[in-house]
Structure 1
Amino acid sequence: MTISTHLILVSAQPIPNITPILDDSLRPQKVVMLVSPDMTERSQALENIFKPRGIRIERCTIDNPWDAEHISDRILDLLAQYPDGGIALNATGGTKLMSIAAYEAFRSCELPIYYIHPEQDRLLWLSPGKPAQDLADCLRLKDYLMAYGAEKVDIPEPAGVAEPIRRLTRQLIADIDRYASELSTLNYLALNADNPQLTVEIDSGPQSRPHLWEMLDLFEQAGLCRINGHSLKFVDAQARFTANGGWLEMFAYAECLGLKKASGIQDIACNITISRHPAGKTAVKNEIDIGLIKANRLHLIECKTKSYRDSAQGADVLYKLDSLRDLMGGLQGKAMLISFNTLDKSSRARAKELNITLCSLSELKNLQQQLKKWLSPNG
């Protein structure tokens, strides 16, 4: 039987509804969405992903996602339009009653049913009993974020990290113990250069603060600033951002790019801005330092060079990252905090509790190995 139509059960976890549709070996001509009243916005987000790919969309609405008899009647009415078959059920989404009712209706009509294993990214055939199959890793960052409710996703044009910046960041990490104490001063200088001239005066001289001046010299060699006496001038706003902590993001992004092919990263970007408009609330913007998709799962990386004065500051960073991971990554989303400064014992325990991977201070020297482990299925 040729399957040209898929019935999907729209739910708060949209990725299992998307990945089979985008797989060329499974892609249907048409998708029918079983939609409850509370999933209207989710169904629109899915339509915005499918339609540009030439897939026809039809909605089958239900009044109550917890009324099994009502759901069964709606599905059986739908299946009457397919007397020769050609339609398959994705039983992964919806409420449990939606899934059970849809499963029983398809079984009674001897029509194919499949389920998506959320952690293994595999399609399991429930009926007929065909072998399971791995799903193609074709999901992109923008589609993923839009599926979770982002109305607008701003992703910069794909670009690498310039070699002078790579050399600078590698040097900073290699001598992390040497420069750690002066990092806050560098951040302070860059923060106070927020003026039309992008300039700031350095209070101390090279003899009293040798490590600070060594670090400034590295930034000058990278072409990011000019030093004239005690006057520091950044070449542009991006250079000032790089000095004000952006260099750690560039280092982490370069390390991720180096792993893209070997680790099977299917999409990656930095400086991502998401705009959402939750129902009944004002518009919300979120920023993602680094986002990537691996095995059709969203991985978020937050980079921080700030010092944590107390455990409350560390907790605040972790809770925000946890909230964003859950909001935009769903149940399978993963998060990592890359910090130039170490977090205290209670914050580290909290990160473990929240299932957020930490990499800080001297651990940054082995960041690529840390990333490899994190990107692995059990990382």
Structure 2
Amino acid sequence: MTTPAAIHPIQLMLVSEQAAPNLLPALDPAIKPREAVLLVSQKMAHRAQALQAVLQESGIKTQSVPLPDEHNMAALESILMDVATQRDGQAIALNVTGGNKLMALAAQAVAQAAGWPAFYVDVDTDQIIWLDKTRPAQALTQQLRLRHYLRGYGFTLAEGIERPQPNTAWQTLLQDLIINVGSLEEAIGQLNHLSQEAQRSLRVTLSPRQREHHGLDALLRKFEQAQVLKRQGDTLVFATEAARSFANGGWIEHHVYQSVSQVTGDLAIRDKAANLQVLGDSGQPNEIDVAFMARNRLFMVECKTARMNHEGDLKANDTLYKLAENCRRIGGLGTRGMLATYRPLRESEQRLAKALNIEVVAGRDLNRLGERLKQWVKPKA
């Protein structure tokens, strides 16, 4: 059987802020082209560079066609007709999903004149819709991995992908912390502060008030039993930097990652990682606590154990705004964000999260995170 890719080895793409609609069909084995021709406005030059890098890495030859004025219909049609003339006799398929409306209209008009089939990528249904109506819609079979998806939006991984596997002792402690959400809240706040203070030396001395804090004492015993730290008189000594990081809220990242791992099969999750450091054009690192790819979309989870309702603390509103902005900037419009927090949010903060389309799993709901992940990721009926 002849595949669509064999029939149309060249894809014509309209570059826009959203990389996914161009990446998904280009990397889909069913219609993956040998070459991609990118129509690029001046404003989208940086997006085109990022897209080309991923395509070339995947073995696809690329050509960039500049568009000096993407708002001039006659000029757009003239450039596209030049492409059609230069590539007369070549089998081309037009991906009409990207670009602005004028670019799409001009490209479709030239495609009709040149006899090129055109298709649209429906990111809501993960389907390719052929516009000539002679072929049925086809499901996208390629599910992007984190590295390719992020590179398509101009971001690279500063370090390797981390997939944490806590030992048995840490796992037992982790389950205890999640089950006892609420009763440990104040002690967790104290431990966050102590582990932060020990960042350089892995050692920290308890204050007189902390030595008398019964809840903190009980929590420290749990962490000592799990060999995360040792108590030497009034001093805490963390076993390793990884152990200190685990005590400093890293345990909730482990819980989220494990929960994602447990539902990977049910949700057809393609790739997942924790503690990602991604770099953009500025070179400024962006931290993502947990990220995974499902339904050809990026899902990002921000994990918090710190207080967000005291003077001097990072406020919940700031966390929500930052997460929403990172979702848009790092992963595009289709990216979804979740805040997993040990402490419940106020009603006003919950309303803000809803307005920003941020899912919130807080307090006792962490104990049923797997169920909440399924509700969040599965497409709405």
Given the two structures, how large is their TM-score scaled by the length of structure 1? 0.93
Of residues 26, 30, 45 in structure 2, which corresponds to 1:40?
45
Letter in 2 for 1:326: R
Of residues 272, 297, 308 in structure 1, which corresponds to 2:276?
272
Q: For the Cα contact (< 8 Å) 1:198–1:240, is it kept in 2?
A: no
Cα distance between partner residues in 2 of 1:337 and 1:205? 29
**1:298 maps to 2:303:** no
**Match of residue 82 from structure 1:** 87
**Match of residue 228 from structure 1:** 232
**Match of residue 176 from structure 2:** 171
Letter in 2 for 1:18: L
Once the two structures are TM-superposed, the CA of residue 157 in structure 1 deviates from its matched residue by 4.3
Closer, same or farther: CA 45–172 of 1 in aligned 2, 3 Å: same
Gaps of at least 5 residues in structure 2 are 1-5
Once the two structures are TM-superposed, the CA of residue 51 in structure 1 deviates from its matched residue by 0.8
Of residues 149, 153, 157 in structure 1, which corresponds to 2:154?
149
Of residues 122, 126, 132 in structure 2, which corresponds to 1:127?
132
Cα distance between partner residues in 2 of 1:42 and 1:153? 19
Q: For the Cα contact (< 8 Å) 1:225–1:235, is it kept in 2?
A: yes
Partner secondary structure for residue 72 of structure 1: helix
Partner secondary structure for residue 154 of structure 1: coil
Cα distance between partner residues in 2 of 1:257 and 1:19? 24
**Match of residue 17 from structure 1:** 22
Worse overlay, 212-221 or 331-340: 212-221
Worse overlay, 141-150 or 291-300: 141-150
Letter in 1 for 2:351: A
Q: For the Cα contact (< 8 Å) 2:164–2:257, is it kept in 1?
A: no
Deviations 1:263-292 (A, max 9, x none): 1111111111111225xxxx4221100111
Worse overlay, 249-258 or 15-24: 249-258
Deviations 1:54-89 (A, max 9, x none): 111111111111111111111111112333341000
Partner secondary structure for residue 127 of structure 1: coil
Cα distance between partner residues in 2 of 1:118 and 1:318? 25
Closer, same or farther: CA 135–161 of 1 in aligned 2, 3 Å: farther
Closer, same or farther: CA 228–301 of 1 in aligned 2, 3 Å: same
Once the two structures are TM-superposed, the CA of residue 323 in structure 1 deviates from its matched residue by 0.6
Once the two structures are TM-superposed, the CA of residue 330 in structure 1 deviates from its matched residue by 1.1
Partner secondary structure for residue 318 of structure 1: helix
Partner secondary structure for residue 270 of structure 1: strand
Letter in 1 for 2:34: Q
Letter in 2 for 1:352: K
Once the two structures are TM-superposed, the CA of residue 128 in structure 1 deviates from its matched residue by 5.0
**Match of residue 238 from structure 1:** 242
**Match of residue 324 from structure 2:** 322
Once the two structures are TM-superposed, the CA of residue 173 in structure 1 deviates from its matched residue by 0.7
Cα distance between partner residues in 2 of 1:205 and 1:288? 32
**Match of residue 358 from structure 1:** 360
Q: For the Cα contact (< 8 Å) 1:161–1:254, is it kept in 2?
A: no
**Match of residue 286 from structure 1:** 286
Closer, same or farther: CA 80–205 of 1 in aligned 2, 3 Å: closer
**Match of residue 140 from structure 1:** 145
Closer, same or farther: CA 205–76 of 1 in aligned 2, 3 Å: closer
Letter in 2 for 1:353: A
Q: For the Cα contact (< 8 Å) 1:142–1:153, is it kept in 2?
A: no
**Match of residue 340 from structure 2:** 338
Structure 1 residues 49-68: aligned runs within 5 Å: 49-68=54-73
Cα distance between partner residues in 1 of 2:178 and 2:379? 27
**1:368 maps to 2:370:** yes
Once the two structures are TM-superposed, the CA of residue 132 in structure 1 deviates from its matched residue by 0.6
Gaps of at least 5 residues in structure 1 are none
Deviations 1:108-157 (A, max 9, x none): 22221100002112111112521111112431111211211225543434
**1:184 maps to 2:163:** no
Worse overlay, 216-225 or 34-43: 216-225
Deviations 1:322-358 (A, max 9, x none): 1101101211110000011111111111001101001
Letter in 2 for 1:374: W
Partner secondary structure for residue 38 of structure 2: strand
Once the two structures are TM-superposed, the CA of residue 205 in structure 1 deviates from its matched residue by 7.8
Cα distance between partner residues in 2 of 1:164 and 1:21? 45
Between Structure 1 and Structure 2, how many residues are aligned?
Answer: 374
**Match of residue 70 from structure 1:** 75
Cα distance between partner residues in 2 of 1:189 and 1:152? 30
